[in-house]
């Protein structure tokens, strides 16, 4: 299968608007990446992917026109369209990935490499394929570190927007009793299921295709690593209501300066942000029930 990559260079201020625009067409996924070394610090690359035969010429024109209008307000580059084969994508990942130590005990190891873990290490063997979530991105690393702190033996965990399944697998390997991994992208669901099986946690992790409607129940830990507007919509739609008393809500995928929107949405649902962690310009928030902190109002 061939895939079409749509790439746009812009600043942090416009990144969310560009990602939202592209997501209307590229429902297979949108990623925000920092630029290569030597770029201006405020620049990022917004990339979107979908099967090459699902973006007709008329849609390309609409994307170009919409970005042109946005460029009158904030600096946004013209989109670059590039066709890539799935095999080329996989090989590109293999060139970039290596064994990564994250937090105190987590080790992310590409499936094609060998690694002998220390007795207390939690190893996640990963083949990201066409899905996002390799452990390379600061947001993913932040989520892994928070899961290491918050997941208790037997915990119920919800991973919204699971991508490659890395966070769901980590939760299971850290001792969670049940993990629900949800994604609306069929490619991500397939890849996540393959990674769950490869890590021997199929009895603990259930991967389903869908969104908020499929994430029923209550959870000790909810982790959502998506775009800020999607996180806010999900919180307002009831996602935050599914945190069990004493549980935690982890929100990541936020660029520095966007955390206020999420904090406000969580506060309206009775959750108080108790931790803010940052790697480069990426932010991760941890919120808990206000009932746990009555002195903070």
Predicted confidence (pLDDT) per residue in 197-226, tens digit: 999 999 999 999 999 999 999 999 999 998
Specify the 3-state DSSP secondary structure of 253: strand
- Mean pLDDT value of segment 164-177: 94
Count CB neighbours of 130 within 10 A: 20
Question: Shortest CA distance to 46 belongs to which of 38, 70, 194?
Answer: 70
State pTM to two decimals.
Answer: 0.75
CA 259 to chain centroid, in Å, comes to: 15
Q: How many CB atoms lie within 10 A of CB 212?
A: 16
CA distance 124 to 148: 13
Chain segment 77-116, per-residue pLDDT in tens: 999 988 877 666 556 556 656 788 999 999 988 877 888 8
Q: Quickly tell me which residue has 């063997």 as its tokens.
A: 125
Distance CA(88)–CA(77), nearest Å, equals: 25
Q: At residue 3, does pLDDT exceed 80?
A: no
- Cα separation, 55 vs 52, in Å, equals 6
**Closest CA relative to residue 210, chosen from 239, 184, 237, 180:** 184
Structure tokens of 41? 């610090």
Answer whether 194's CB lies under 8 Å from 149's CB.
no
Distance between CA atoms of residues 288 and 271, nearest Å: 5
Instruction: Identify the structural domains of the chain with CATH numbers, from first to last.
Output: 2-91 (3.30.70.120), 97-296 (3.40.50.150)
Mean pLDDT to the nearest integer, 260-287 = 93
Asked whether 182 and 211 are in contact (CB, 8 A), the reply is yes
> Residue range 259-281: average pLDDT?
93
């Amino acid at each position: 299968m061939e895939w079409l990559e749509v790439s746009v260079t812009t600043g942090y201020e416009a990144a969310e608007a560009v990602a939202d625009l592209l997501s209307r067409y590229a429902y297979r996924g949108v990623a925000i990446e920092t630029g290569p070394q030597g770029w201006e610090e405020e620049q990022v690359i917004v990339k979107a992917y979908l099967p090459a035969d699902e973006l007709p010429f008329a849609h390309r024109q609409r994307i170009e026109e919409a970005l042109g209008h946005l460029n009158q307000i904030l600096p946004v580059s013209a989109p670059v369209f590039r066709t890539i084969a799935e095999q080329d994508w996989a090989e590109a990942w293999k060139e970039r990935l290596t064994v990564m130590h994250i937090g105190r005990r987590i080790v992310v190891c590409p499936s094609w490499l060998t690694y002998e873990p220390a007795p207390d290490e939690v190893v996640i063997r990963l083949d990201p394929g066409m899905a996002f979530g390799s452990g390379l991105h600061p947001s993913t690393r932040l989520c892994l570190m928070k899961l290491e702190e918050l997941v208790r033996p037997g915990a119920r965990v919800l991973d919204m927007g699971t991508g490659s399944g890395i966070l769901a697998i980590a939760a299971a390997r850290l001792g969670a009793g049940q993990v629900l991994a949800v994604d609306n992208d069929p490619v991500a669901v397939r890849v996540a299921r393959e990674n769950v099986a490869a890590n021997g946690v199929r009895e603990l992790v259930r991967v389903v295709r869908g969104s908020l409607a499929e994430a029923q129940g209550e959870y000790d830990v909810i982790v959502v690593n998506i775009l800020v507007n999607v996180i806010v919509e999900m919180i307002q739609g009831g996602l935050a209501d599914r945190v069990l008393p004493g549980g935690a809500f982890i929100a990541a995928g936020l660029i520095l300066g966007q955390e206020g929107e999420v904090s406000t949405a969580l506060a309206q649902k009775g959750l108080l942000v108790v931790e803010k962690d940052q790697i480069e310009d990426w932010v991760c928030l941890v919120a808990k029930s206000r009932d746990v902190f009555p002195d903070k109002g």
